[in-house]
Amino acid sequence: MKSSQIDAYLEVITGAMFSGKTRELHRQYSVFKSCHFKVQVFKRDIDQRYSKDEIVTHDGLKFAKEDVFIAKTVDDIERQIKEDTDVIMIDEAQFYEPEIVKKVDEWVDNGKIVVLTLLPTDYRGETFGPAGDLLAHADKITQVFGRCLFLENGVYCHKPATKTYRKGDIKDIVVVGGAELYEGRCRKHHKIKDK
Ligand SMILES: [Zn+2]
């Protein structure tokens, strides 16, 4: 498929940690692949298990190895974009520099579909890097939710989690971690510190 044949757009998949952003990205990846679109998936790190032909995420989602590219910076992404790529997917776009906002607009204007996953706020509830601008520039926003895991009297709150809560008392903004360090919380329970 020629890129010029596509009605290009920018879609942002946004949600707190454990809301299923990568799952939604993978769902769209599978749809594009079944339509024979050429897809490139950019990630800052690939720490998942490797198999011969696929990259498998911790959720067991499979991306073809030849479609996945490591890019630490926006320049790294741009350098690796192929002429005949139809769809550019970027995982964890909040970690890239502010110039990503201008660049994704350029890529869309040049006929590429761009789909990003985005953690909108950090554990304090502050806007994460370029997240606000990326949401403002999106043609389509898909918001996904996990469930609030605040436990009271043995029952989980279970409201949609729009915030990422960090357990413990670490002050650095960017600390990569999983469920041992973070959980989804609703607005009310994001403000409550664990005792
Ligand atoms: Zn809650």
Q: Are residues 50 and 136 in the same domain?
A: yes
Distance (Å, whole) CA 180 – CA 144: 21
CA 191 to ligand 1 centroid distance, Å: 10
Q: For residues 148 and 192, is the Cβ–Cβ distance under 8 A?
A: no
pLDDT of residue 171: 72
Number of separate domains in the chain: 2
CATH number of the domain enclosing 174: 3.30.60
Q: pLDDT 10s per residue in the chain (195 long)?
A: 554 556 999 999 999 999 999 999 999 999 999 999 999 999 987 655 556 667 777 678 889 999 999 999 999 999 999 999 999 999 999 999 999 999 999 999 999 999 999 999 999 999 999 999 999 999 999 999 999 999 989 999 999 999 999 988 777 777 777 788 889 999 999 987 765
Q: Is 11 a catalytic residue?
A: no
CA 155 to ligand 1 centroid distance, Å: 11
Which residue is catalytic, options 92, 97, 99, 180?
A: 92
What's the domain range around 28? 3-145
Q: Are residues 133 and 101 in the same domain?
A: yes
In a domain, 115, yes or no: yes
pLDDT of residue 177: 75
pLDDT of residue 53: 67
CA 144 to ligand 1 centroid distance, Å: 16
Question: How does DSSP classify residue 186?
Answer: -
Of the candidates 109, 103, 106, 112, the residue with the CA atom closest to the CA atom of residue 37:
112
Q: Are residues 137 and 156 in the same domain?
A: no
Q: Are residues 77 and 163 in the same domain?
A: no
